[in-house]
A and B are shown apart, each in its own frame.
Chain A
Amino acid sequence: MSLLELREETVGYSGTTVLRELELNIEQGERIALVGESGAGKSTLLNLIHTRLGETAALVPQELGLVQALSVFHNVYMGRLHQRSVWRNLRNLLKPAKADVALVVPVLERLRLEDKLFTSVGELSGGQQQRTAVGRALFHPGDILIADEPVSAVDEHQAREILDAITAEKPTVILAMHDRELAIQFADRLIGIRDGKIALDVAASGMTPKDLDDLYRNGDR
């Protein structure tokens, strides 16, 4: 079943064009990895997809969007703020309710972050912060997860764990990744972007990192 159809002449911010001649269909249940050089337009495409999908999609932006002053629990809990009453949210802000803590803990266990439950995010390392942001997206009730470089700050072993958790929890996953090998392993569809255009759109099985070299060769910009 088709989830989203994109047909755009140009996409950009305030006058500058980032993506051109965009034609893209996304099916439910797909695991898509966006690959390409930094600055090619991956983030722009992810933001566009998120805007179109709206509330059903959880987002892990590149800059994470965490509230440093709040604890890991609060930041992860924020994935379901829109589902709860303001009073319950306010109560949880002042004193976390046992029932909600019990819901958040399993998510943190998957990400090996359970010992940081009530640590404020400002005190965490870069990798721990990234896992917190992934936790927030996993806690989001939607079936779709959109993430911009979600494993850039963790080692390879942890990266696999996090990607395992993401793909186990969310049926539809759209990731921007710069690690080609990981992208091929975890995605079933690769979309390569080069110079603001979709230059590659193939099934991931059977691909090797070398096959993606073209995307990273300096083109005529």
Chain B
Amino acid sequence: MIVRPEPSPLARTTTTFVGIAFICLIFADVAISTVDPWQEFRRLLLGLVTPDFYATDSVVLSIAYTLAFALLGVTLANFMGLFLALLFYSRIVRTGCAVIRAVHELFWALIFLQMFGLSPLTGVLAIAIPYAGIIAKVYAEILEEANPAPLKTIPAGTSRASAFIFVRMPDVWAHFRSYSMYRLECGIRSSAVLGFIGLPTLGFHLETAFKEGQYSEVSALLILFYLVIATMRIWMKRPLMPVYLIGAIVILPWGVAFSFANIVRFLTEDIVPHPLRSGAGMEAFWDWLHMMVVDQAWPGTIATVQLTMIALVATGFLTIVLFPLISPLLLGKASRFFGHMFLVIARSTPEYVLAFILLQLWGPSMLPAIIALTLHNGAIIGHLVGRYTETVSLRQDASTGFNRYFYEVLPRVYRPMLALLFYRWEVIMRETAILGILGIATLGFYVDSAFADLRFDRAMLLIAITALLNIGVDAISRSVRTRLRLQTSLEQQ
């Protein structure tokens, strides 16, 4: 008797998600609306191969600012994150961390911009606060996974602090260090993007150069950016850390004044829903809330979810195409070198910058956002999966070529790949919301418009909804991962 094959839970989940993404894609606007997109693209390519490092004298300074914000923000986040990780047994701390990391650093920057203006405090806090929430969670997980045996061997009555310093820290220190390096890399990308909302980092000059069509300057800025990230492991030495931190504090323009009254007004008046502030009563408040949900929050949420699902599934497809580029099971050393080059560039370019560039070329639709999110995230997961295949050993008589890829390699990496994708889901959603600032009608679009109209009450409501959405997706992703028994420590590199 032949038993018919039952579709495995992995295959069923895959089919469900591909189906959802397909339906989302049918309703998505993916038109290219610019008159001659390829002409502009040719000009861009020409600019990219003729970088002009002397276009403005501010190129080097903008890189320095980018690094300064990232260093200070990530350092601060590390201290706060470690402290919060130690309190992670408390439900309040866990929830608080989930909330602050559910709000993207660009939204934090928009909020702090209202309070501190263009003071460096805005940029440093915009990175430090969401990163503290992320770091707290990761450090708490690392501490939890550490070997508990040594704790039992120390004499009774040893203070918690001494026990932690002597027994726990040495065990987890290496993990903390490598994770904080990874966070710093993320911080540099975030810091660059903060320039798009007015801080003096790379993004600011990138946007200006782009709008003026100075593609050679764009090229120079991007090349310097890649160099800084690619060489990070060379210049980022621990003994030099104090020098970098002092340097960062010195070069940032702290002189920008901000008024304390302003901050108080923002926190106690501006963000209170308008009907309540003007004393129009509860009925007016409900009308206001109804209007916000129907006109802004609902369409914004639909677009955000739609784009997220398309990008998530497209990222999966791109990953299975990209990871072979760096896998020793499938390619020789020389080809892998170019694979690494491509993946480094694709994952070092923030999706926000990619989306911005494509939007200039193709005009406003979901297409630039889909491509940007897919390329960036596909390169990240492709890199991790490719590295994972280095640990897989095949039998001596394993098949070659496409047969090897489909039968030997893909089935082995599929499970860890899905785990990584589901981990990434929440990140993709956070990014999707933020791309709204560029003009795609996701939640970020409505948040940005509210800030532009100085309607901070609306902005805060929409940011809160975005945060809830992220927390919701995180919960769904966690339950899918548990159900499919998807676990991987690849995420922490």
Contact = CB atoms under 8 A, between A and B. Distances in A.
Contact of A118 (B6, B396, B399, B415): B6
A94 to B, nearest CB: 9
Interface string A45-69: 0010011000001110101110111
B162 to A, nearest CB: 45
B396 A69 contact: no
Interface stretch (A2-10, A82-90, A206-214): A82-90
Query: B interface, by DSSP: helix, strand, loop or mixed?
Result: loop
A74 interface: yes
Contact of B415 (A57, A61, A69, A117): A69
Interface-centre pick from B401, B403, B414 (highest chain A CB count, 10 A): B403
A120 B8 contact: yes
Contacts of A71: 5
A100 to B, nearest CB: 12
Contact of B411 (A59, A69, A89): A69
B407 A59 contact: no
A115 interface: yes
Given A69-B415, A89-B403, A93-B407, A117 B396 contact: no
B261 interface: no
B287 to A, nearest CB: 54
A51 B399 CA distance: 14
A96 interface: yes
B407 A89 contact: yes
A47 B396 contact: yes
Interface string B1-32: 11111101010000000000000000000000
B265 interface: no
* Interface residue range, chain A: 20 to 34
B398 interface: yes
A70 interface: yes
A18 interface: no
Interface string B398-422: 1111110011100110110000000
A90 B404 CA distance: 11
Nearest to B4: A118
Nearest to A102: B2
A105 B407 contact: no
Interface residues of B, number: 25
Contacts of B411: 67, 69-70, 74
B406 A96 contact: no
A81 interface: yes
B407 A117 contact: no
A67 to B, nearest CB: 5
A67 B408 contact: yes
B3 A82 contact: no
A217 to B, nearest CB: 31
Contacts of B36: none
A76 B363 CA distance: 52
Contact of B396 (A59, A105, A114, A115): A59
A117 B2 contact: yes
A33 to B, nearest CB: 20
B3 A61 contact: no
B415 A86 contact: no
A13 B132 CA distance: 49
Contacts of A105: 2
Contacts of A82: 399-400, 403
A65 B414 contact: no
Nearest to B400: A82
Contacts of B407: 67, 70, 74, 78, 81, 89, 93
B403 A118 contact: no
A89 B408 CA distance: 12
Contacts of B2: 101, 105, 114, 117
B408 A86 contact: no
A59 B3 contact: no
B483 interface: no
B3 A117 contact: yes
Interface string B375-407: 000000000000000000011111111110011
B5 A51 contact: no
Contacts of A74: 407, 411
Contact of B397 (A50, A69, A70, A120): A50
A50 B396 contact: yes
Interface string A139-179: 00000000000000000000000000000000000000000
A78 B412 contact: no
Given A67-B412, A69-B414, A117-B2, A78 B396 contact: no
A178 B398 CA distance: 25
A65 B5 contact: no
A105 B10 CA distance: 25
A143 to B, nearest CB: 15
Interface string A115-128: 10110100000000
Contacts of B415: 69
Contact of A81 (B4, B8, B395, B399): B399
Interface string A12-56: 000000000000000000000000000000000001001100000
Contacts of B394: 65
Contact of B406 (A50, A59, A89, A117): A89
A68 B411 CA distance: 8
A87 B412 CA distance: 20
Contacts of A86: 401-403, 406
Nearest to B394: A65
Nearest first, the 6 A-B pairs at minimum CB distance are A65-B395, A118-B5, A69-B411, A59-B397, A81-B399, A81-B403
20 contacts: A50-B397, A59-B395, A61-B396, A64-B395, A65-B395, A67-B412, A69-B10, A69-B414, A69-B415, A74-B411, A78-B408, A81-B403, A82-B399, A89-B407, A90-B402, A101-B2, A105-B2, A117-B3, A118-B3, A118-B4
Given A82-B403, A90-B402, 9 more contacts: A50-B396, A57-B397, A67-B411, A69-B411, A70-B407, A74-B407, A86-B402, A89-B403, A120-B8
